[in-house]
A and B are shown apart, each in its own frame.
Chain A
Amino acid sequence: MTVREVAVNAYREALPVLSVSALGGLFAGLVLGGMSAELQRIQGLLVLVPALLATRGNVYGSLGARLGSALHQGLIEPYISFGNERLRTAAAAAVASGLLVSTLAAVMAFALLVALGEPVAPVWMLVGVALISAVIGGGVLVTTVVTVVLVGYRRGLNPDTLAGPVVTTTGDIVGMATLLVAARIVLAIGGL
């Protein structure tokens, strides 16, 4: 293929995926833009935002990739049921990693800001926001990824190309929405 053919082909293949995920990103941004009160009241929350959004993408992206490979290899059946032991294990491992890494991100952000002498909210608030959003977001994302990958596979779609964009788009929207909810819950608990 010539340079031109390669470029046109790559452009056509990527544009729809990129556009859909940009639309998702804009809605995530709208939530972030509407969160300025929470960002000001929980100092250090903005520092956590990229890490928490990336964790959603990494953890559930890896779940999608794992399920995709397992379907290709015939290791799991493409049906959603609690008797599907490998499916249960992969989903539980993803939620567990999500909780662990989110908590760690909050503690690391707190330590970084304290070490640099920057103003920061109490550590329980940051950990609280990270944990609550990881629990709610984890539930939503596990359901979405498992459903989309398994149903997509049954309909003859390649889970490898499906999982990535689905995870980045829903991960951003769900990630931001659950951060807002978690921040409000933590502020309410703190009586602030």
Chain B
Amino acid sequence: MSAASGWSVRRIVRATLPVLVALTALELTSGFVLGTIQATLLQYPSLLVLVPVTIGTAGNLGSILAARLSTAFHLGTLRFGRDDTLVGNAVATVALAITVFPIVGAGAWGLTAATGGAGLSPGTVVVVSLASGVVLAALAIGIAVGATYAAYRLRLDPDDVVIPVVTNVCDVLGVLVLFGVVRLIV
């Protein structure tokens, strides 16, 4: 939509609406999963506090990785397979998850404890957050690499397609993984 005539409200809405509706349907499935553990989340507010930040950080990890792979791909410095750029970025994603998620868990516990009972021990909340983060980092790597590779095979511009798809898929996985970890640990 780079032509000067391409800028009308109707045209922009029409171009973006199908993707937005599809992504909304995808996000509703994660909402439904959240709904099934609503009772546990309401019982332990620190877990409820973890929901948006887990979703957001998972989406960010995926989208940052996808953006870096897309750029490397445009520059011609990326080969699929055992490639230094690919492996290095994957290692960084796991390291970022191991750094950020324990702090997020401690923050969630601290905020809930400061504003009225947290309901869980700080250790439990940190473990829930870290375990979710490590699993999510692994999944984000798989999704980002897979989506970039698919865009390359389908001759799509990775910037247009990969980032929204990866961000939203990681959002949904964020909820699913949190759900699984809460079921296992809490």
Does the CB pair A32–B17 fall under 8 Å?
A: no
Q: Is B132 interfacial (CB 8 A cutoff)? A: no
Cα–Cα distance between A48 and B64 once the two chains are bound (Å): 26
Cα–Cα distance between A21 and B15 once the two chains are bound (Å): 28
Judged by DSSP, the binding face of A is helix
Tell me, rounded to whole Å, the shortest Cβ–Cβ distance linking B121 to chain A.
17
Q: Is B9 interfacial (CB 8 A cutoff)? A: yes
**Known contacts A10-B92, A11-B96, A26-B111, A101 near B57 by CB under 8 Å:** no
Does the CB pair B115–A30 fall under 8 Å?
A: yes
Contacts of B108 in A (CB 8 A): 26, 29
Does the CB pair A6–B53 fall under 8 Å?
A: no
Q: Is B61 interfacial (CB 8 A cutoff)? A: yes
Does the CB pair B100–A19 fall under 8 Å?
A: yes
Cα–Cα distance between A18 and B16 once the two chains are bound (Å): 27
Contacts of A17 in B (CB 8 A): 60, 64
**Known contacts A32-B49, A58-B20, A50 near B175 by CB under 8 Å:** yes
Contact residue among B42, B171, B172, B175 (Cβ-Cβ distance under 8 Å from A36): B42
Cα–Cα distance between A108 and B31 once the two chains are bound (Å): 11
Does the CB pair A58–B23 fall under 8 Å?
A: yes
**Known contacts A29-B48, A29-B53, A100 near B17 by CB under 8 Å:** yes
Tell me, rounded to whole Å, the shortest Cβ–Cβ distance linking B129 to chain A.
10
Q: Is B25 interfacial (CB 8 A cutoff)? A: yes
Q: Is B13 interfacial (CB 8 A cutoff)? A: yes
Does the CB pair A96–B28 fall under 8 Å?
A: no
Tell me, rounded to whole Å, the shortest Cβ–Cβ distance linking B64 to chain A.
5
- Residues from 7 to 47 in B contacting A, C-beta threshold 8 Å: 7-9, 12-13, 16-17, 19-21, 23-25, 27-28, 30-32, 34-35, 38, 41-42, 45-46
Does the CB pair A32–B52 fall under 8 Å?
A: yes
- Residues from 56 to 110 in B contacting A, C-beta threshold 8 Å: 56-57, 59-61, 63-64, 67-68, 84-85, 87-89, 91-93, 95-96, 99-100, 103-104, 107-108
Cα–Cα distance between A62 and B108 once the two chains are bound (Å): 30
Q: Which residue of A lies closest to B175 (CB)?
A: A50
Cα–Cα distance between A55 and B22 once the two chains are bound (Å): 11
Contacts of A1 in B (CB 8 A): 84-85, 88
Q: Is B130 interfacial (CB 8 A cutoff)? A: no
Contacts of A55 in B (CB 8 A): 20, 23-24, 27
B interface with A by C-beta (< 8 Å): 2, 4, 7-9, 12-13, 16-17, 19-21, 23-25, 27-28, 30-32, 34-35, 38, 41-42, 45-46, 48-57, 59-61, 63-64, 67-68, 84-85, 87-89, 91-93, 95-96, 99-100, 103-104, 107-108, 111-112, 115, 164, 167-168, 171-172, 175
A interface with B by C-beta (< 8 Å): 1-11, 14-15, 17-19, 21-26, 28-30, 32-34, 36, 39-40, 44, 46-51, 53-55, 57-59, 61-62, 66, 69, 73, 75, 85-86, 89-90, 92-94, 96-97, 100-101, 104-105, 108-109, 112-113, 116, 118, 164-165, 168, 172, 176
* Known A58-B20, A104-B24; further 11 A-B contacts with Cβ < 8 A: A7-B91, A26-B53, A26-B108, A48-B31, A51-B24, A55-B27, A59-B20, A61-B164, A62-B164, A96-B13, A108-B25
